[in-house]
Structure 1
Amino acid sequence: METTTTVNADGTVTIPAEIRKRYGIKPGAEVCCVMNGYQLEMRIVGTQLPESNTKPVSGFGMIKSDVPSVDPHVGL
């Protein structure tokens, strides 16, 4: 989901109602802002997210195996 919002004169950003409802963000909720280059990520702190009805994109690491795991960074 992608949506646009506006920063007001005080620097406040309103999280759209659809996003607040979807992620259970209530008044007083704490949101952590993480800067990653030119991207800003907002993470909800201390809120239990609702169950997702979407399938995982990747199943990496979800299958049990007797074979030891391999560190993907070894040999770089």
Structure 2
Amino acid sequence: MYVIGTAGHVDHGKSTLVECLTGIDPDRFQEEKDRGMTIDIGFAWITLPSGREVSIVDVPGHEKFVSNMLAGVGGVDM
């Protein structure tokens, strides 16, 4: 299984991209939806036409949540 991470500046559409690719909204908490920004790491997955599974870790982009971002990138394939 591959693990992909989305990281970047706040409000650049990382979570929207993940949802478009997988159909899964990685923002799980009501506060994230209310504020329109990822606060904690989110997860989604997709099975490629080849049958290979890919997990996606969506990490926060806001500077106040860097500790959450760092927790999420530990499992990303580099």
- Provide TM-score, normalisation by structure 2: 0.25
Question: RCO greater where, 1 or 2, for CA within 8 Å and sep 6 or more?
Answer: 2
Structure with bigger helix share is 2
